Structure 1
Amino acid sequence: MRMTDEIKKLIGTLNPIPIATCDCEADEERKSSVNLIFVTFLKVYDDETLLIANNKFYKTMRNLNKNPNVSIALYNPDNNRSFQLKGKASVYLEGEIFEETVQWVQSGRPNINPQAAVLVHIEKIYSKAKRLVEQNGELTFVRGII
């Protein structure tokens, strides 16, 4: 799903940003739970993808290795708009994407050594109970689509 310009701009202004993953460990009732963290290194990679630097993920990384689903919450206090982005993560421990991530992080914080790069391909976007869809080449929010 292609992100709107508003969403891409908002991501560039927020820090930290909350992301949620599904906890891969079942509780005593055999139900999974959500793990929610704040990330400080998250940026738009392309129109449909976000890049997250794994600097200190523990549960999150373990979760992503078993379940790639990610949910990201955004809030713009200037216009009281909020968005939920849902997607699937791919983890990179080496290679070009990982090296790009290391350079990006260390350009601002040379003392941090990322452990992995995480690309999140956005599949669904919601705002106020409406889902973002593409219709005739245009992005629009529609109520009633899950």
Structure 2
Amino acid sequence: MVALTTEIRESLAGTRTLFLATSSQNRVPNVVPIGAFKLLDDETLLVSDQYFHKTLQNLKENPVVALSWWGEKGGYQIKGPVTLHTNDEIFVQDVRWMKEVRPHLTPKSAVVMKIAEAYHVKPGADAGKKIL
């Protein structure tokens, strides 16, 4: 796994919405906006699942995702494997976090992504260039 750069972490911290891309085992893509996310450390991102249907099925069938966003300093994409947590300490921490920041939401699962790659998505010479 890779550790995110300071620039990517700052961009992520200033972003309200990420776009999570998944794919079924039959290679049918799905993309959803995500608002409940946070870095657990420089290599790990938590996504809190309140509403996933197709996304959850895809994660069970094919546990690799891409996340993309556009921030003030440009855009980024990160990719990596995920694990689902529904009845362990990570899930309990997710529920506690949601009660603090968005008490009207009730998590169904916690999705933990290990960041394996990062890319630029901003226009220009670096568009699509692998960063990490």
Partner of residue 123, structure 2:
none
Structure 1 residue ranges (4+ consecutive) displaced by more than 6 angstroms after TM superposition: none
How much has 1:106 moved relative to structure 2? Answer: 1.1
Task: Please point out which of 66, 74, 86 is paired with 2:69.
Answer: 74
Partner of residue 36, structure 2:
41
Partner of residue 83, structure 1:
76
Report the Cα distance in structure 2 between the residues aligned to 1:85 and 1:122, rounded to whole angstroms: 7
Unaligned segments of structure 1, at least 5 residues: 27-31, 134-146
User: How many residues matched?
Assistant: 125
Task: Check conservation: 2:49, 2:108, Cα contact below 8 A.
Answer: yes
2:20 maps to amino acid: I
The CA deviation string for residues 34-61 of structure 1, in whole angstroms up to 9 with x for no partner, is 1000011011111101000011100111
SS in 2 for 1:35: strand
SS in 2 for 1:56: coil
Indicate yes or no: 2:54 matched with 1:62.
no
1:35 maps to amino acid: N
Partner of residue 117, structure 2:
124
1:8 maps to amino acid: R
RMSD: 1.2
Partner of residue 45, structure 2:
50
Report the Cα distance in structure 2 between the residues aligned to 1:23 and 1:36, rounded to whole angstroms: 11
2:44 maps to amino acid: T
Identity of aligned residues (%): 30
How much has 1:12 moved relative to structure 2? Answer: 1.7
Indicate yes or no: 2:25 matched with 1:11.
no
The CA deviation string for residues 88-142 of structure 1, in whole angstroms up to 9 with x for no partner, is 0000001110011001111122221100001000111111221123xxxxxxxxx
Higher relative CO (Cα under 8 Å, sequence separation at least 6) belongs to 2
Flag the structure with higher strand content: 1
How much has 1:85 moved relative to structure 2? Answer: 0.4
Larger Rg: 1
How much has 1:74 moved relative to structure 2? Answer: 1.8
Report the Cα distance in structure 1 between the residues aligned to 2:6 and 2:57, rounded to whole angstroms: 32
With the length of structure 2 as denominator, give the TM-score of the two structures: 0.89
With the length of structure 1 as denominator, give the TM-score of the two structures: 0.81
1:65 maps to amino acid: K
Report the Cα distance in structure 2 between the residues aligned to 1:40 and 1:84, rounded to whole angstroms: 16
